[in-house]
Amino acid sequence: MTTFEKHYIGKGTQVEGLDIIKIVLPVTGLEGAVFKKNGVKYLSFEVAKLKQDDKFGRTHTCYYQVKVSSDIPTKDEEPAKQKKETKKKGKKEPAKDDLPF
């Protein structure tokens, strides 16, 4: 199972009467939300409605997520190698039922 860690980066306010959220984000700290694909840098974050407006009247919060762990390796990760149990070579000890007495 993949788990993610949220990094909160700012808040926003819904524009009255419209389906528009005005967001103000500090540039510092956004490096973790930037990724590169085909030579182009992208900024990826999510906007979620707050259950209740904060004390400044902001209605939404912004965050980016970072993958923390995964049981399934990605194409860039090497699959976990399963350890093979090795038996020690040597004399076989007789089982208790095999004893002559």
In the chain, the percentage of residues whose pLDDT exceeds 70 is 68
Phi-psi region of 55 (alpha: psi -120 to 50; beta: other; left: phi over 0): alpha
For residue 82, pLDDT beyond 50: no
Listed by start position, the domains of the chain span 3-69
pLDDT tens, 33-68? 999 999 999 999 999 999 999 999 999 999 999 888
How far apart, in whole angstroms, are the C-alpha atoms of residue 88 and residue 92? 10
pLDDT value, residue 81: 47
The pair phi, psi for residue 18, each rounded to 5°, is -130, 160
Q: What is the pLDDT of residue 69?
A: 77
pLDDT of residue 1: 80
Sole residue written with tokens 């788990």: 3
Question: Percent of the chain scored above 90 by pLDDT?
Answer: 50
pLDDT of the residue at 99: 55
